[in-house]
RNA sequence: UGGGGAUUAGCCAAGCGGUAAGGCAACGGACUUUGACUCCGUCAUUCCUAGGUUCGAUCCCUAGAUCCCCAGCCA
């Protein structure tokens, strides 16, 4: 269930004001990813912001691919992004590509040249860097800054025609080389790149820069509120300049908010790509990745992600959200939805010495004690069962409520058992324990003769279904290093632990992405790629909270 | 040290001149056939600091501190 609290934030307040003042009749937002990687949970914040704002105020939201750099982009990414946005629960009104507008962008650039607001520069990238000045010193005008309009027009047409090599010429805005805002020191508008584009093929060999293209895209689509992250703040004057000087009839406005950071989490497409490329993880959808596809494969739900980003809020201060907030929302979402069954991750055999050999009985169990609609199931019980290794100690500490010699515990949905003896191997490890059960204490019988402090889970041994469990820890150990260049030095070597255990026999019918609670362990997801009916594979989404410390 | 931002509890975050919402976390306790869940309780006399204006300031003014972003033909 979604977190219902629709809290206010500064962008929503702006929208309300704009609607009330009549500045806009209907809001139009857009989610504008570059198809150069997979979406991560940081993008989810932006997606929810844009789509939910439009939903709330009866506006529209476009999905627009910002595909102005063919060197880095690929159709694989556009398909993955579409899938992720839909999976999160959103449907776009318009589906567009920046490349849809290349001709218009070119014509607007011609207009800029005709107005004397843009010129062709012959300087190399290096020369441009040198003449741009520094943070404290103004830049110097390019020697080509005052070329005639006719010459600029001619050169620009020849750039388009492919007469020049990459880097030989560039179209620049003519603004102010001494502006204290470096973004206004004659920023680049068009560069030459003889690269095949995933949409337009070889139709173009010049491509617009983001800072020039983006405001045009917004203006063409009638976007009213163009929402981006804080690092684009200094670009806003140029954004407005482009809209103004290109004489766009519609004038979108840019608003910036702080991007999402989460503790112990790498949140940058570049770093995530590095993790994939260097095989630190298996793929973009590795459950350890904070990508939408990784979270999906791990077992997170769209509802939990939406609730999470809503609760985080939208503000302008850089912040790092505690990963436990995300965990809170998946626990809350799955609490009533998922079946609660038993799984033994690290098995220890128990022989119930007074239970008849060869006998098996079926016991009734609720699938979710807090949600009767999920019904009941039957589970087998017999003389030999598996319990968790953690649930037995030869020499227990104080306040240990589980099994130890002489102690009695409840077997969830079954009987009380009492430990009488145990067997060790040559290394001194406990490999089997012997108990007796009390038939009077059967679950559901109403027995109240005596109380027991602990209840443990178990699986009947002969019918237990072998299963693989994949337990995850953060990929990054230092909680503040997730977004720094040194993050590779903080990779957690134990981010994945694969163990073999058992689940109840009926688990053979699980389907990919089924979500279950395993008693006392946590919530798990059936892995869509690795799981098989005879050997299910479960990804742990999140453990249960526990106040027990040894 | 140019320009642009930010600063409210351990982490997020409301608040818009009338006396500090909410969530997470944490800590007590109750309950419990999950050491879970649920429930009850605790958790900022103070909002980066110092002055000022005001009957009254987290909010307005002045000065300062700290942190983030900008010198791609990336987005």
pLDDT in tens, A234-279: 999 999 999 999 999 999 999 999 999 999 999 999 999 999 999 9
Name the nucleotide with the smallest C1'–CA separation from A136: B2
Dihedral in degrees, nearest 10, Cα atoms A243, A244, A245, A250: 60
DSSP string, A523-544: EEEE-TTT-BTTB-EEEEEEEP
pLDDT in tens, A403-445: 999 999 999 999 999 999 999 999 999 999 999 999 999 999 9
Are the CB atoms for A118 and A209 separated by under 8 Å? no
Question: One of A60, A191, A236, A269 is an active-site residue; which one?
Answer: A269
Residues belonging to the binding site of A for ATP are 34-36, 40-46, 229, 259-260, 267-269
Give mean pLDDT, residues A51-77: 97
Q: How many CA atoms lie within 13 A of A33 on its CB side?
A: 26
SS3 annotation, A132-168: CCCCCCCCCCCCCCCCCHHHHHHHHHHHHCCCCCCCC
Judged against a pLDDT cut of 90, whether residue A38 lies above it is answered with yes
CA distance A41 to A261: 9
CA distance A391 to A520: 11
Name A528's Cβ contacts closer than 8 Å, sequence gap at least 6: A297, A512, A513
The residue whose CA lies nearest the C1' of nucleotide B36 is A544
B72 C1' to A481 CA distance, Å = 25
DSSP classification of residue A125: H
Give mean pLDDT, residues A333-354: 98
Give mean pLDDT, residues A469-492: 80
Judged against a pLDDT cut of 50, whether residue A93 lies above it is answered with yes
Of A235, A239, A157, the closest CA to residue A190 belongs to: A157
pLDDT at res. A4: 42
A361: annotated active-site residue: no
Residues belonging to the binding site of A for L-glutamine are 66, 210
Q: How confident is the model at residue A487 (pLDDT cuts 50, 70, 90)?
A: confident
pLDDT at res. A1: 38
Judged against a pLDDT cut of 80, whether residue A88 lies above it is answered with yes
Are the CB atoms for A384 and A431 separated by under 8 Å? no
The residue whose CA lies nearest the C1' of nucleotide B2 is A136
Percent of chain A residues past pLDDT 90, beyond the cut: 94
DSSP classification of residue A356: P
Are the CB atoms for A524 and A469 separated by under 8 Å? yes
**Mean pLDDT, rounded, of chain A:** 96
Give mean pLDDT, residues A356-360: 96
Give mean pLDDT, residues A454-460: 98
Name the nucleotide with the smallest C1'–CA separation from A212: B75
Considering only the C-alpha atoms of chain A, give the largest distance between any 2 of them, rounded to a whole number of Å.
102
Angle at A94 between CA A90 and CA A95, to 5 degrees: 85
Give mean pLDDT, residues A526-547: 96
Judged against a pLDDT cut of 90, whether residue A477 lies above it is answered with no
pLDDT in tens, A104-154: 999 999 999 999 999 999 999 999 999 999 999 999 999 999 999 999 999
Of A327, A329, A321, A331, the closest CA to residue A265 belongs to: A321
B42 C1' to A546 CA distance, Å = 20
Question: One of A30, A147, A169, A259 is an active-site residue; which one?
Answer: A259
pLDDT at res. A480: 62
A273: annotated active-site residue: no
B4 C1' to A177 CA distance, Å = 17
Taking residue A84's Cβ as centre, other Cβ atoms within 10 Å add up to 23
B69 C1' to A58 CA distance, Å = 34
Name the nucleotide with the smallest C1'–CA separation from A311: B23
Judged against a pLDDT cut of 60, whether residue A309 lies above it is answered with yes
Judged against a pLDDT cut of 60, whether residue A223 lies above it is answered with yes
CA distance A454 to A403: 8
pLDDT at res. A7: 74
Are the CB atoms for A216 and A244 separated by under 8 Å? no
A269: annotated active-site residue: yes
Judged against a pLDDT cut of 60, whether residue A5 lies above it is answered with no
B7 C1' to A258 CA distance, Å = 14
The sheet carrying A515-518 orders its strands as A339-341, A515-518, A522-526, A537-543, A465-472, A496-503, A343-344
Judged against a pLDDT cut of 50, whether residue A73 lies above it is answered with yes
Give mean pLDDT, residues A297-311: 98
Angle at A33 between CA A29 and CA A35, to 5 degrees: 150
Of A72, A59, A16, A91, the closest CA to residue A222 belongs to: A59
pLDDT at res. A47: 98
The three-state secondary structure class of A7 is: coil
Name A368's Cβ contacts closer than 8 Å, sequence gap at least 6: A336, A338, A339, A340, A374, A517
Q: How confident is the model at residue A484 (pLDDT cuts 50, 70, 90)?
A: low
pLDDT at res. A541: 98
- The reply to whether ipTM tops 0.90 is yes
pLDDT in tens, A370-379: 999 999 999 9
Give mean pLDDT, residues A158-176: 98
Name A55's Cβ contacts closer than 8 Å, sequence gap at least 6: none
Which nucleotides of strand B are protein-proximal, with an atom < 7 A from a CB? 1-8, 10-16, 21-27, 33-38, 67-75
CA distance A271 to A182: 27
The residue whose CA lies nearest the C1' of nucleotide B13 is A313
Q: How confident is the model at residue A486 (pLDDT cuts 50, 70, 90)?
A: confident
B44 C1' to A315 CA distance, Å = 21
- Return left, alpha or beta for A420; rule: phi > 0 is left, psi -120 to 50 is alpha, else beta: alpha
B24 C1' to A85 CA distance, Å = 26
Residues belonging to the binding site of A are 34-36, 40-46, 66, 210, 229, 259-260, 267-269
């Amino acid at each position: 269930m979604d977190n219902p609290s629709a809290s206010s934030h500064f962008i929503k307040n702006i929208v309300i004001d704009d609607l009330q003042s009549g500045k806009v009749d209907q809001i139009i937002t857009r989610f504008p990813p570059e198809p150069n990687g997979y979406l991560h949970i940081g993008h989810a914040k932006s997606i929810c912001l844009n789509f939910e704002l439009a939903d709330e105020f009866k506006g529209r939201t476009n999905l627009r691919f910002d595909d102005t750099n063919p060197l880095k982009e690929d159709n694989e990414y556009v398909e993955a992004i579409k899938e992720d946005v839909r999976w999160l629960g959103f449907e776009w009104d318009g589906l567009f590509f920046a490349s849809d507008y290349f001709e218009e962008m070119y014509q607007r650039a011609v207009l800029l040249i005709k107005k004397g607001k843009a010129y062709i520069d012959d300087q190399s990238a290096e020369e441009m860097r040198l003449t741009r000045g520094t943070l404290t010193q103004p830049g110097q005008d390019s020697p080509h800054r005052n070329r005639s309009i006719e010459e600029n027009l001619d050169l620009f047409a020849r750039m388009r025609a492919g007469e020049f090599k990459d880097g030989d010429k560039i179209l620049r805005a003519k603004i102010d080389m001494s502006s204290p805002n470096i973004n206004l020191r004659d920023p680049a508008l068009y560069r030459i790149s003889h690269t095949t584009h995933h949409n337009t093929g070889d139709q173009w060999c010049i491509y617009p820069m983001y800072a020039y293209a983006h405001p045009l895209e917004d203006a063409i689509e009638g976007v009213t509120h163009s929402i981006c992250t804080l690092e684009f703040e200094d670009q806003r004057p140029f954004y407005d300049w482009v809209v103004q000087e290109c004489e766009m009839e519609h004038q979108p406005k840019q608003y910036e908010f702080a991007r999402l950071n989460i503790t112990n989490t790498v949140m940058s497409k570049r770093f995530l790509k590095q993790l994939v490329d260097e095989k630190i993880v298996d793929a973009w959808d590795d459950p350890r990745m904070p990508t939408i596809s990784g979270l999906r494969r791990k077992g997170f739900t769209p509802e939990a992600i939406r609730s999470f980003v809503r609760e985080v809020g939208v503000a302008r201060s850089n912040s790092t959200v505690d990963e436990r907030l995300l965990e809170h929302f998946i626990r809350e979402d799955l609490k009533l939805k998922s079946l609660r069954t038993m799984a033994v991750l690290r098995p220890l055999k128990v022989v119930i010495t007074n239970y008849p050999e060869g006998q098996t009985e079926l016991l009734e169990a609720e699938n979710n004690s807090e949600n009767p609609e999920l019904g009941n199931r039957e589970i087998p019980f017999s003389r030999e069962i598996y319990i968790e290794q953690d649930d037995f100690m030869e020499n227990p500490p104080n306040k240990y409520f589980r099994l130890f010699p002489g102690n009695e515990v409840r077997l969830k949905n079954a009987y009380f058992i009492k430990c009488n003896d145990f067997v060790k191997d040559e290394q001194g490890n406990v490999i089997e324990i012997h108990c007796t059960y009390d038939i009077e204490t059967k679950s559901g019988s109403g027995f109240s003769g005596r109380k027991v402090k602990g209840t443990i889970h178990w699986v009947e041994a002969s019918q237990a279904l072998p299963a693989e469990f994949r337990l995850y820890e953060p990929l990054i150990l230092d909680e503040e290093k997730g977004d720094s260049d040194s993050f590779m030095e903080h990779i957690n070597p134990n981010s994945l632990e694969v163990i073999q255990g058992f689940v109840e026999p009926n688990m053979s019918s699980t389907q990919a992405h089924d979500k279950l609670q395993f008693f006392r362990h946590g919530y798990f997801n059936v892995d869509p790629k690795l799981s098989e009916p005879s050997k299910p594979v479960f990804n742990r989404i999140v453990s249960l909270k526990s106040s027990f410390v040894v």
